Amino acid sequence: MKIRFLLPLIFFILIGLLLWRGLSLHPNEIPSPLIGKASPTFSLPTLLGTKATITEKDLKGHVTLLNVWATWCYACALEHEYLMELASHKDFKLFGFNYKDDNIAARHWLKEHGNPYEIIAVDVTGTTAIDWGVYGTPETFLIDKNSIIRYKQIGPITQEVWEKTLRPLVEKLENEA
């Protein structure tokens, strides 16, 4: 048999394998080009508390989870419950990033559902969020002690996501200098 008669079959098998592999991919999730880079500079007002503004300097010296959320976001409400549970975890700081939201509504929401965040940055216009490459809520950035972005979780943090991906990463970053 000549090899060229086999070409269609080979070609088909290759495409088939590709499609089979493709079934387990997530085409909607866009990886962030910011991973491995220092967090973007920013200066935002805070939602609650005594500290009036928050900047990238506040991320230094500790492992941070920066969680982008909004009251209009349906999936954030689902995530919130688990975040409350996580908030008792002492190894890292959980920062909030309130995205294109109404301040009054946001405060009201936190009062009702509880506040898992240590500090909450407020981005009403969404301009700073563009610097972070935010494209949907909820999103969570994992930032190390040197304020380098190490991981981005797209979609809500669930128990499964926490146990399988985030927790091992957080523990690893904790042990880094």
Partner 1 sequence: MVPELGHFAIILALSFALMQFLAPIGGYYKKENLYFQLSYIAVIGQFSFLWFAMLCLITCFMNNDMSVSYVQEHSHQLLPLLYRIGAAWGGHEGSLLLWCLILSTWTLAFLAFRRFVPPAPLSLQRGVITVLGFISAGFILFLFATSDPFRRVFPTAPINGDDLTPILQDPGLIFHPPMLYMGYVGFAIGFAFAICALISGKLDREWARAARPWVVMPWGFLSCGIVLGSWWAYRELGWGGWWFWDPVENASLLPWLSATAFIHALMVSEKRNTFKGWTLLLAIVTFALSLLGTFLVRSGILVSVHTFASDPTRGLFLLSYLALIIGGAFTLYSFRIKHFYQAPTFALFSRETFLLINSVVLLSAVVTILIGTLYPIILDSLNLEKISVGEPYFNTVFLPMMLPLLLLMGFAPHVSWGEQSIAKLWQKLRLNLILSLLLGLSLPKLLGFHFHWLACIGISCALWIVLATGQYVYQLKKSHQLVGLQHWSMIVAHLGIAVMALGITVTKSYSEERQVRMNLNETVTVANYQFTLKQLNETQGENFKSITATFLVQKAHQSPLALLAEQRIYTSHEQSLSKPGILANLYRDLYLALGSSLPDGGWSVRIYYKPFVRWIWAGGFMLLLGGFLSLLSSIRLRGKK
Partner 2 sequence: MKKAFLTLFFLLIPLQLVFAVEDEYHFNTEAARQQFEGLTTELRCLVCQNQNLAESNAALAVDLRTQIYQKVLSGQSSPEIVDYLVKRYGDFILYRPPFKLQTLGLWLGPFVCLIFGLFYLIFYIKNQRRR
List contacts with partner 2 (CB under 8 A): 28, 30-34, 100, 125-127, 130-136
State the Cα–Cα distance between residues 57 and 74, nearest whole angstrom: 31
Q: Which of 57, 59, 83, 54 is nearest to 69 (CA)?
A: 83
- Beta strand ranges found along the chain (DSSP E): 43-45, 53-55, 64-69, 93-99, 119-123, 139-143, 149-154
Name residue 168's amino acid.
P
User: Per CB under 8 A, does 31 bind partner 1?
Assistant: yes
Residue 71: count other Cβ atoms within 10 Å of its Cβ: 18
Shortest spacing between CB 168 and partner 1, in angstroms: 19
59 binds, among partner 1, partner 2, none (CB under 5 to 8 A by kind): none
Shortest spacing between CB 33 and partner 1, in angstroms: 9
Shortest spacing between CB 175 and partner 2, in angstroms: 29
Q: Which of 1, 52, 104, 177 binds partner 1 (CB under 8 A)?
A: 1
Name the residues that contact partner 1, by CB under 8 A.
1-2, 5-6, 8-9, 12-13, 15-16, 18-25, 27-31
